[in-house]
Amino acid sequence: MSQVVTVTEPLPGVAQIVMADREHKNTFTDALLAGLGEAFTRVAADERYKAVVLTGYGTYFCSGGTRDALLGIQEGTFTFQPEGVPSAYSLALDCPIPVISAMQGHAIGGGLSMGLFADFVIFSRESVYTANFMKFGFTPGFGSTRIFPAKLGLALAQEFLLTGRTFRGTELAERGVPFPVRPRDEVLPAALELAGNLAEKPRRSLVVLKDHLVRELREQLPAVIEQELAMHAQTLHQPEVRDLVLNRYGT
């Protein structure tokens, strides 16, 4: 298994996937992407698992694309969906059993999109959440244009995506986000409690019901990704985008 992504079984039937690339603050490095792909493949193939908890470490859930990746996309040498690389944003959606995103830490850009593709989401009051694509001057990717409206409602999704602004978990709670918002140290315990509840059900029943509930989203996603890549072709290669990535990344 990866050194930056681990799988444990904290409760019978529950897989806990932990992202802990401390050196890169859980950005989408090759190591993190490969580790996530391996972890979800392993969990999906193991019949004893009935639920998954996906979480990060400390104050970080997932920080999205690396600076080099964003510059590569801007220069046209890379895309957010390169051939042969796991589609991190849809790993939770494609997983046959229910996935809970225990977002105890900051979730940024594609990292937030990935978390929202889970079946259940738990936010942290202290953490920051942002779809910061437009902060750098280019249109969103990672399926964000579909999953944000689906999970957060159109009004809040538009504010996330069009402004690129940052929200604290406390503000999301005040805005009526349709997910629990807990103190950071309560996020993972709440996720494990929920996972334990799910693990009491027959695996086959969970798989069949999840497949029914997410079928439409799974069917729509490939066309959405094509549309997002088409928008990237129009917006990413502007000189202003490179300047914004160079000057604003990490701020």
Domain ranges in the chain are: 5-184
User: Distance between CA atoms of 28 and 8, rounded to whole angstroms?
Assistant: 21
DSSP state of 53: E
Q: Which candidate, 148, 101, 103, places its Cα nearest to that of 126?
A: 103
pTM, full prediction: 0.92
Look at residue 3 and give its three-state secondary structure: coil
- The CATH architecture annotation of domain 5-184 reads Alpha-Beta Complex (3.90)
Residue whose token pair is 């529950």: 14
pLDDT band at 244 (very low <50, low <70, confident <90, very high): confident
Please report where in the chains the tokens 């009491």 appear, as a residue: 200
Cross-strand pairs, 8: 16
CB count within 10 Å of CB 3 equals 9
Span 183-216, pLDDT tens digits: 999 999 999 999 999 999 999 999 999 999 999 9
pLDDT above 70 covers a percentage of the chain that reads 94
DSSP string, 38-89: HHHHHHHH-TT--EEEEE-BTTEEE-BS-HHHHHHHHHTS--SS-TTS--GG
Catalytic residue annotation: 232
Q: How far apart are CA 239 and CA 251, in angstroms?
A: 20
Instruction: Work out the pLDDT band at 64, boundaries 50, 70, 90.
Output: confident
Specify the amino acid at residue 130. Answer: T
C-alpha–C-alpha distance, residues 238 and 251, integer Å: 21
